[in-house]
Structure 1
Amino acid sequence: MSIPSLEQQLSAELNRMDFSKILVEQPYEYQSIFLNRIQPDSKNARFFPAVIVSDQLAYQIATKRLSKAQLIKRLDCVDRVVIGKSCIVNCFNRGSVEWKKANVSIASIIELAANVSVSELIQVPTIYPLDDSNYQILTGHRRFFAMLYSNGIDGAAHFKVYRNKPSLPRTKQFQENASREDLPQYGKLQAFQEARLELETLSAMRQRAEGKNLTVREISSLLGISMGAFDNYNVLTRYPAVVEAYQNGNSTSFIAMKKIVVREEALVRKKTGQSVLDVEQKRSLNKRLANILSNTAVEESPSKKKRYRLGTIESAELMKVILTENLLELDSGVDWTTVDWAQPKAVNDAFERVLSFLTSSRNLAQ
């Protein structure tokens, strides 16, 4: 059975409601659900590849009755994380980038599990039903894994349960997580990109149906963020190098990173005299940003030195005037208030006019 495309799913939704209500009318209720009925979303930006084990097997792992080698052979879990009640094992290649990233997630999950074991979550994970009477996580993967670590696969917990799969799941995920400060920066950017793709599809459908696209204000409202935050996300996802930097562990704040991107774009515009960068310029800028963000020295094209010249002075009397009199006060016809001192040509031309004035008015040889 083929899975309907996003456009087909949206068409079905729009037969029941208009564009303004597609993210608003999403009925839900809070329920206690067994964890063994819930599955993570492998396409979610917050997902990390996990193998969930039974409570019995988790006990064997936690009490070291199985070695890591035996575990990998039994579960075929290379480059994944094994998780269950009171056990979590990183099976990525030790020392690799993915192994280090998984360790960060593992530490975060264990810390959250300690809180789960003594108190309820303030913001419970959200899920929606699947055709097989099970559920899929929409938001809260880290919280779900913390529940598994704390309670085991046979435990139960409270969830926010949507009646149906949301019309725009990636947009809903971003909307519900946008205000959270504890989410990794890379996850936020990836979630924004996925949500924006959904909204671009919705905008194209609205254009065909009503003759108008979604405005930037409408898109930011659907995402649940301000116009300023929307602009920040837009700038940070404009170049793959920025997203890749965060994926590889860069921890620069979004505001500071945006300043870097905007600064580099301004330098290209100033150099080329173009207000809009073309594809090649953006490709070059992406490479430059990759170098900057990886702390690689960026090759600067040597700038042309500014040269101010006085010319050749052969008259002792003229040299004396130049060195002893205030040339700016002479009635030479030069309006010094309009001279751009940062431009050598403008200064040199003005000085030539002063020399011409002195040689003619005082009959001095140059």
Structure 2
Amino acid sequence: MDKLEQLITTSILSNKESSIFESGYEYKSLFISKVMPDNSNPRYFPAVIISDNHAYQVAIKQLTKKQLMAIYNAENKVVIGKSCIVNCCDTGSIEWKKSNETIASIISLGENIAVSEVIQAPTVYPTEQGTYQILTGHRRFFAMIYAQGVNGAAHFKVYHYKPALYKVKQFQENSSREDLPQYGKLQAFLDAMNEVEVLNTANKRLGNKELTVRETTNVLGISSGAFDNYNVLVRYPAVIKAYEQGNSTSFVRMKKLVRSTEEEFRETEGVSMLTAVHKREINRLLDECLNDKAKKTVKKEKEKLYAFEKIQSPDVLKMLLSENILTLEVGVNWEQLDWANQDDVNTALSQVLSYLSQLET
């Protein structure tokens, strides 16, 4: 019996089963330096938080990317500090591409936080070390660091203790977020279902019934249709692998592909029930199909272009054409910038426009 099952069993025996799903909380202002991200959360990406002093040194070009990576052991990670985000993942890798997408959203959210409050405060819980662990709201947390630095303070929703089914709580938020990639949602579902299985195991040990499908969907906060979609999609590792590698097929279309592959296999093999051996073969077929589609997509992918975002202000346009932007403190290390990489350059151009827009105000 693991710790989670022991906790759930104790709660059931003491007639405090509601504490399994709920945890008291209050809103507090905390120093950002006391809050730690959760590297097991699908919203998390491999980030290293740096001091405000080092972030400033990066901004004034006293600290290079190479030096920063050495100080923080940041190889294949993303360095985040006040007005500073540096992608140290291998250029062109899947992690590098995914991190760039997250970086762009963090910068945009950080700029909003700098001028207004966070609408929905990140949730945290206290740890034995005297710090606080992020439960939900990782992107908002990183945006706070980008906007205010680690020496600042921010508003958090603080649980009195770590929720028993904390992966379930993470899934409840992640499943409703449109900006979370499909892989993150699938991983969050698997993590949440592991906790639900532990709850069911504890109930069986005590002679109680397992959760019904309806009760399970209520706990997860999703519809029965969405629950069925998730169950079909996590059935085969090839599907999860495809999403992890950047596949963006909608869940509905992917579910149809899985169902049709299963049906074709049943007809070909003349079977009605699928055994573990059958499912391994179906997984292989799905892997081949999805890899073939990925190769075709790469061939059809248009060449990326260098591009500024749309400029609405004539004053910003005038500054852009008249100023030497390479001499401005826009938060871009021009010496380290890979000019041959369209994603890196376009991110830098976006930061330039953001900087000039702030000057205008």
- The alignment status of 1:281 with 2:278, answered yes or no, reads yes
CA distance in 2, matches of 1:118, 1:297: 41
- 8 Å Cα contact 1:109/1:145 also seen in 2: yes
- 8 Å Cα contact 1:79/1:93 also seen in 2: yes
Distance 1:76 1:229, change over 3 A: same
CA distance in 1, matches of 2:19, 2:262: 36
- The alignment status of 1:242 with 2:239, answered yes or no, reads yes
Which residue does the alignment assign to 1:295? 292
> What is the deviation of 1:294?
1.6
Which residue does the alignment assign to 2:129? 132
- 8 Å Cα contact 1:23/1:168 also seen in 2: yes
> What is the deviation of 1:170?
0.4
Question: What does residue range 261-340 of structure 1 map to in structure 2 within 5 Å?
Answer: 261-295=258-292
Which residue does the alignment assign to 1:207? 204
Distance 1:281 1:158, change over 3 A: same
Which residue does the alignment assign to 1:225? 222
CA distance in 2, matches of 1:231, 1:193: 13
Aligned partner (choices 4, 7, 31) of residue 6 of structure 1: 4
Which residue does the alignment assign to 2:104? 107
- 8 Å Cα contact 2:8/2:20 also seen in 1: no
Aligned partner (choices 30, 33, 37) of residue 30 of structure 2: 33
- 8 Å Cα contact 1:35/1:156 also seen in 2: yes
- 8 Å Cα contact 2:25/2:160 also seen in 1: yes
> What SS does the corresponding residue of 2:150 show, helix, strand or coil?
coil
1 or 2 for the larger relative contact order (CA 8 Å, sep ≥6)? 2
CA distance in 2, matches of 1:296, 1:175: 31
Which residue does the alignment assign to 1:333? none
* Number of equivalences: 294
Q: Which runs of 5+ in 2 are unaligned?
A: 296-361
CA distance in 1, matches of 2:172, 2:294: 38
CA distance in 1, matches of 2:51, 2:248: 36
Which residue does the alignment assign to 1:150? 147
The code of the aligned residue for 1:242 comes to V
Which residue does the alignment assign to 1:301? none
- 8 Å Cα contact 1:291/1:297 also seen in 2: no
How does the TM-score come out when normalised to structure 2?
0.77
RMSD over aligned CA atoms reads: 1.8
The code of the aligned residue for 2:251 comes to F
CA distance in 1, matches of 2:107, 2:77: 17
Which residue does the alignment assign to 1:190? 187
- The alignment status of 1:42 with 2:39, answered yes or no, reads yes
> What is the deviation of 1:281?
1.1
Task: Compare CA radii of gyration and give the structure with the larger one.
Answer: 1
Which residue does the alignment assign to 2:173? 176
- 8 Å Cα contact 1:125/1:159 also seen in 2: yes
> What SS does the corresponding residue of 2:115 show, helix, strand or coil?
coil
CA distance in 2, matches of 1:182, 1:296: 23
Which residue does the alignment assign to 1:253? 250
> What is the deviation of 1:7?
1.6
- 8 Å Cα contact 1:128/1:162 also seen in 2: yes
> What is the deviation of 1:120?
2.2
Deviations 1:167-224 (A, max 9, x none): 1110111123322222111111000000001100110110121342111111111101
The code of the aligned residue for 2:6 comes to Q
How does the TM-score come out when normalised to structure 1?
0.76
> What SS does the corresponding residue of 1:127 show, helix, strand or coil?
strand
CA distance in 2, matches of 1:119, 1:269: 57
- The alignment status of 1:55 with 2:52, answered yes or no, reads yes
Q: Which runs of 5+ in 1 are unaligned?
A: 299-366
The code of the aligned residue for 1:14 comes to I
The code of the aligned residue for 2:185 comes to K
- 8 Å Cα contact 1:125/1:140 also seen in 2: yes
The code of the aligned residue for 1:233 comes to Y
The code of the aligned residue for 1:147 comes to M
CA distance in 1, matches of 2:20, 2:242: 32
Q: Return 168-177 or 272-281, whichever deviates more.
A: 272-281
> What is the deviation of 1:75?
2.0
